[in-house]
Amino acid sequence: MSSSAPKSEEELLGRCAEIAGMELSQLARGLNVTVPANLRQHKGWVGQLLERALGASAGSLSEPDFQLIGVELKTLPLNRHGQPRESTYVCTVPLRAVGERWEDSWVRNKLSRVLWLPVESEPDIPLGRRRVGQAILWSPDEEQARILHRDWEELMEMISLGKIEKITAKQGVYLQIRPKAADSHVHTHAIGDTGEQVLTNPRGFYLRTRLTAEILNSAHRQTAKTRG
DNA sequence: AGCTGATCATAT
DNA sequence: ATATGATCAGCT
Protein backbone atom coordinates (compact mmCIF):
# COMPACT_ATOMS: atom_id res chain seq x y z
CA MET A 1 0.00 0.00 0.00
CA SER A 2 2.70 2.44 -0.96
CA SER A 3 1.78 5.90 -2.18
CA SER A 4 4.75 6.94 -4.31
CA ALA A 5 4.25 7.39 -8.02
CA PRO A 6 4.41 4.22 -10.13
CA LYS A 7 7.18 4.33 -12.75
CA SER A 8 5.68 1.99 -15.30
CA GLU A 9 2.33 0.59 -16.34
CA GLU A 10 3.47 -2.79 -15.04
CA GLU A 11 4.18 -1.37 -11.61
CA LEU A 12 0.79 0.35 -11.61
CA LEU A 13 -1.01 -2.84 -12.61
CA GLY A 14 0.88 -4.69 -9.90
CA ARG A 15 -0.48 -2.32 -7.28
CA CYS A 16 -3.96 -2.68 -8.69
CA ALA A 17 -3.65 -6.45 -8.37
CA GLU A 18 -2.73 -6.00 -4.69
CA ILE A 19 -5.84 -3.96 -3.90
CA ALA A 20 -8.28 -5.88 -6.10
CA GLY A 21 -10.95 -7.45 -3.93
CA MET A 22 -10.20 -5.21 -0.96
CA GLU A 23 -12.92 -3.27 0.80
CA LEU A 24 -12.74 0.52 0.85
CA SER A 25 -12.55 0.48 4.66
CA GLN A 26 -9.37 -1.61 4.47
CA LEU A 27 -7.76 0.82 2.06
CA ALA A 28 -8.90 3.76 4.16
CA ARG A 29 -7.44 2.28 7.34
CA GLY A 30 -4.08 1.73 5.67
CA LEU A 31 -4.01 5.34 4.51
CA ASN A 32 -5.27 6.77 7.78
CA VAL A 33 -8.40 8.10 6.13
CA THR A 34 -11.86 8.25 7.69
CA VAL A 35 -14.73 6.57 5.83
CA PRO A 36 -17.70 8.96 5.58
CA ALA A 37 -21.18 7.64 6.38
CA ASN A 38 -22.17 8.11 2.74
CA LEU A 39 -21.10 9.97 -0.39
CA ARG A 40 -23.77 12.65 -0.29
CA GLN A 41 -21.35 15.32 0.83
CA HIS A 42 -18.24 13.44 -0.23
CA LYS A 43 -18.91 12.64 -3.88
CA GLY A 44 -15.27 12.44 -4.86
CA TRP A 45 -14.15 10.40 -1.87
CA VAL A 46 -13.75 7.02 -3.56
CA GLY A 47 -11.75 8.52 -6.41
CA GLN A 48 -9.46 10.38 -4.04
CA LEU A 49 -8.95 7.33 -1.85
CA LEU A 50 -7.84 5.26 -4.82
CA GLU A 51 -5.60 8.05 -6.09
CA ARG A 52 -3.75 7.88 -2.80
CA ALA A 53 -3.70 4.11 -2.70
CA LEU A 54 -2.11 3.96 -6.14
CA GLY A 55 0.25 6.92 -5.85
CA ALA A 56 -1.45 9.32 -8.26
CA SER A 57 0.41 12.61 -8.31
CA ALA A 58 -1.42 15.46 -10.00
CA GLY A 59 -3.99 16.38 -7.35
CA SER A 60 -6.32 19.01 -8.78
CA LEU A 61 -3.82 20.12 -11.42
CA SER A 62 -4.56 19.75 -15.12
CA GLU A 63 -2.16 16.84 -15.43
CA PRO A 64 -2.56 13.09 -15.89
CA ASP A 65 -3.02 11.34 -12.55
CA PHE A 66 0.15 9.38 -13.17
CA GLN A 67 2.30 12.04 -14.82
CA LEU A 68 5.41 9.89 -15.17
CA ILE A 69 3.65 7.34 -17.33
CA GLY A 70 0.84 9.46 -18.81
CA VAL A 71 -2.05 7.47 -17.39
CA GLU A 72 -5.39 8.85 -16.21
CA LEU A 73 -7.18 7.15 -13.29
CA LYS A 74 -10.96 6.78 -13.34
CA THR A 75 -13.02 4.88 -10.82
CA LEU A 76 -16.04 3.17 -12.33
CA PRO A 77 -19.06 2.74 -10.02
CA LEU A 78 -20.79 -0.59 -10.65
CA ASN A 79 -24.28 -1.78 -9.81
CA ARG A 80 -25.14 -5.29 -8.56
CA HIS A 81 -24.96 -6.60 -12.11
CA GLY A 82 -21.49 -5.29 -12.67
CA GLN A 83 -22.66 -2.51 -14.95
CA PRO A 84 -21.68 1.18 -14.69
CA ARG A 85 -24.10 3.18 -12.54
CA GLU A 86 -22.97 6.61 -13.67
CA SER A 87 -21.43 8.49 -16.54
CA THR A 88 -17.74 9.40 -16.25
CA TYR A 89 -16.54 12.98 -16.04
CA VAL A 90 -13.67 13.64 -18.45
CA CYS A 91 -12.78 17.33 -18.36
CA THR A 92 -14.06 20.88 -18.56
CA VAL A 93 -15.48 22.03 -21.90
CA PRO A 94 -13.42 24.90 -23.37
CA LEU A 95 -16.28 27.31 -24.08
CA ARG A 96 -14.17 30.01 -25.72
CA ALA A 97 -12.05 27.77 -27.91
CA VAL A 98 -12.36 28.37 -31.63
CA GLY A 99 -10.41 26.24 -34.06
CA GLU A 100 -9.08 23.80 -31.49
CA ARG A 101 -8.04 20.54 -33.11
CA TRP A 102 -9.13 17.11 -31.90
CA GLU A 103 -5.50 16.03 -31.86
CA ASP A 104 -4.72 18.72 -29.27
CA SER A 105 -7.93 18.45 -27.26
CA TRP A 106 -8.11 17.64 -23.56
CA VAL A 107 -10.66 14.94 -24.28
CA ARG A 108 -8.42 13.03 -26.65
CA ASN A 109 -5.36 13.44 -24.47
CA LYS A 110 -7.06 12.40 -21.24
CA LEU A 111 -8.65 9.39 -22.88
CA SER A 112 -5.54 8.21 -24.70
CA ARG A 113 -4.58 6.02 -21.73
CA VAL A 114 -6.98 5.35 -18.85
CA LEU A 115 -6.78 3.04 -15.87
CA TRP A 116 -10.39 2.06 -15.12
CA LEU A 117 -10.87 0.90 -11.56
CA PRO A 118 -14.29 -0.68 -11.00
CA VAL A 119 -15.75 -0.23 -7.51
CA GLU A 120 -18.94 -1.71 -6.10
CA SER A 121 -21.43 1.11 -5.85
CA GLU A 122 -24.84 -0.36 -5.07
CA PRO A 123 -26.42 2.01 -2.52
CA ASP A 124 -27.41 -0.82 -0.18
CA ILE A 125 -23.76 -1.76 0.37
CA PRO A 126 -22.25 0.37 3.16
CA LEU A 127 -19.50 2.57 1.73
CA GLY A 128 -16.69 0.96 3.68
CA ARG A 129 -17.72 -2.53 2.61
CA ARG A 130 -17.67 -1.86 -1.11
CA ARG A 131 -14.94 -3.78 -2.88
CA VAL A 132 -12.44 -2.72 -5.50
CA GLY A 133 -12.54 -4.70 -8.72
CA GLN A 134 -10.01 -5.73 -11.35
CA ALA A 135 -8.35 -2.75 -13.03
CA ILE A 136 -8.50 -2.28 -16.80
CA LEU A 137 -5.78 -0.37 -18.60
CA TRP A 138 -7.46 0.99 -21.70
CA SER A 139 -6.88 2.99 -24.84
CA PRO A 140 -9.68 3.63 -27.35
CA ASP A 141 -9.72 1.19 -30.25
CA GLU A 142 -10.12 2.55 -33.77
CA GLU A 143 -13.88 2.61 -33.79
CA GLN A 144 -14.16 4.07 -30.31
CA ALA A 145 -11.68 6.78 -31.24
CA ARG A 146 -13.63 7.56 -34.41
CA ILE A 147 -16.90 7.92 -32.53
CA LEU A 148 -15.36 10.04 -29.79
CA HIS A 149 -13.78 12.25 -32.44
CA ARG A 150 -17.08 12.69 -34.25
CA ASP A 151 -18.98 13.52 -31.06
CA TRP A 152 -16.32 16.04 -30.10
CA GLU A 153 -16.35 17.73 -33.51
CA GLU A 154 -20.13 18.12 -33.50
CA LEU A 155 -20.23 19.54 -29.99
CA MET A 156 -17.25 21.83 -30.42
CA GLU A 157 -18.59 23.17 -33.69
CA MET A 158 -21.79 24.23 -31.96
CA ILE A 159 -19.76 25.93 -29.23
CA SER A 160 -17.60 27.83 -31.69
CA LEU A 161 -20.77 28.94 -33.52
CA GLY A 162 -22.25 30.31 -30.31
CA LYS A 163 -24.80 27.55 -29.87
CA ILE A 164 -23.83 26.47 -26.36
CA GLU A 165 -27.37 27.00 -25.05
CA LYS A 166 -28.65 24.64 -27.75
CA ILE A 167 -26.45 21.77 -26.57
CA THR A 168 -28.25 19.06 -24.62
CA ALA A 169 -26.99 15.98 -22.80
CA LYS A 170 -28.97 14.00 -25.37
CA GLN A 171 -26.38 14.72 -28.04
CA GLY A 172 -23.36 12.50 -28.62
CA VAL A 173 -22.98 8.74 -28.94
CA TYR A 174 -20.20 8.26 -26.37
CA LEU A 175 -19.44 11.84 -25.36
CA GLN A 176 -22.00 14.24 -23.92
CA ILE A 177 -21.90 17.74 -22.46
CA ARG A 178 -23.58 18.48 -19.13
CA PRO A 179 -23.35 21.22 -16.49
CA LYS A 180 -20.27 21.00 -14.30
CA ALA A 181 -20.33 23.52 -11.49
CA ALA A 182 -21.16 24.05 -7.84
CA ASP A 183 -24.70 24.95 -8.96
CA SER A 184 -26.66 26.42 -11.85
CA HIS A 185 -25.89 30.00 -10.84
CA VAL A 186 -22.15 29.77 -11.45
CA HIS A 187 -21.12 31.63 -14.57
CA THR A 188 -18.28 31.55 -17.04
CA HIS A 189 -17.66 33.21 -20.40
CA ALA A 190 -18.74 31.60 -23.64
CA ILE A 191 -19.24 32.58 -27.27
CA GLY A 192 -22.62 34.12 -28.13
CA ASP A 193 -24.48 33.57 -31.38
CA THR A 194 -23.17 36.77 -32.92
CA GLY A 195 -19.67 36.07 -31.68
CA GLU A 196 -19.92 38.26 -28.58
CA GLN A 197 -19.07 37.07 -25.08
CA VAL A 198 -21.96 35.73 -23.04
CA LEU A 199 -22.29 34.22 -19.58
CA THR A 200 -23.29 30.60 -19.13
CA ASN A 201 -23.02 27.74 -16.67
CA PRO A 202 -19.70 25.86 -16.94
CA ARG A 203 -19.96 22.53 -18.75
CA GLY A 204 -18.07 19.27 -18.66
CA PHE A 205 -17.49 16.42 -21.09
CA TYR A 206 -18.82 13.09 -19.80
CA LEU A 207 -18.60 9.55 -21.13
CA ARG A 208 -21.89 7.73 -21.40
CA THR A 209 -22.18 4.34 -19.73
CA ARG A 210 -22.63 2.95 -23.24
CA LEU A 211 -18.88 3.28 -23.68
CA THR A 212 -17.74 2.22 -20.21
CA ALA A 213 -19.99 -0.85 -20.33
CA GLU A 214 -18.35 -1.74 -23.63
CA ILE A 215 -14.91 -1.36 -22.08
CA LEU A 216 -15.87 -3.65 -19.18
CA ASN A 217 -17.31 -6.25 -21.53
CA SER A 218 -14.32 -6.42 -23.84
CA ALA A 219 -12.00 -6.70 -20.83
CA HIS A 220 -14.03 -9.63 -19.55
CA ARG A 221 -14.00 -11.32 -22.94
CA GLN A 222 -10.24 -10.91 -22.98
CA THR A 223 -9.96 -12.47 -19.52
CA ALA A 224 -12.15 -15.41 -20.51
CA LYS A 225 -10.07 -15.98 -23.64
CA THR A 226 -6.79 -15.96 -21.70
CA ARG A 227 -8.18 -18.41 -19.17
CA GLY A 228 -9.75 -20.57 -21.83
C1' DA B 1 -35.66 2.52 -14.46
C1' DG B 2 -32.63 5.46 -16.97
C1' DC B 3 -31.13 9.87 -18.08
C1' DT B 4 -30.39 14.78 -17.85
C1' DG B 5 -29.60 18.72 -15.43
C1' DA B 6 -28.10 20.05 -10.75
C1' DT B 7 -25.16 19.68 -7.07
C1' DC B 8 -21.22 18.69 -3.21
C1' DA B 9 -16.22 18.99 -1.52
C1' DT B 10 -11.55 20.63 -2.04
C1' DA B 11 -7.29 22.85 -4.02
C1' DT B 12 -5.24 26.60 -6.57
C1' DA C 1 -13.41 31.41 -11.29
C1' DT C 2 -11.38 26.98 -12.78
C1' DA C 3 -9.61 22.75 -12.08
C1' DT C 4 -9.82 18.11 -9.73
C1' DG C 5 -12.79 14.02 -7.72
C1' DA C 6 -17.67 12.57 -8.86
C1' DT C 7 -22.92 11.39 -7.34
C1' DC C 8 -27.58 13.21 -6.50
C1' DA C 9 -32.35 13.55 -7.55
C1' DG C 10 -36.26 15.05 -10.26
C1' DC C 11 -38.34 14.29 -14.75
C1' DT C 12 -39.65 11.57 -18.52
* Domain A9-227 CATH superfamily: DNA mismatch repair MutH/Restriction endonuclease, type II (3.40.600.10)
**Does residue A102 approach strand C to less than 7 Å at its CB?**
no
Instruction: Grade residue A168 by pLDDT with cuts at 50, 70 and 90.
Output: very high
Helix/strand/coil for A83: coil
Residue nearest to nucleotide C3 (CA to C1'): A60
Instruction: Grade residue A98 by pLDDT with cuts at 50, 70 and 90.
Output: confident
Instruction: Grade residue A135 by pLDDT with cuts at 50, 70 and 90.
Output: very high
- A91: exposed, middle or buried (C-beta count within 10 Å: 0-12, 13-18, 19+)? middle
**pLDDT tops 90 at residue A65:** no
Amino acid at residue number A83: Q
Nearest nt to the CA of A181 via C1' is: B7
**pLDDT tops 80 at residue A110:** yes
Write the pLDDT tens digit of every residue in A180-226: 999 999 999 999 999 999 999 999 999 999 999 999 999 988 878 77
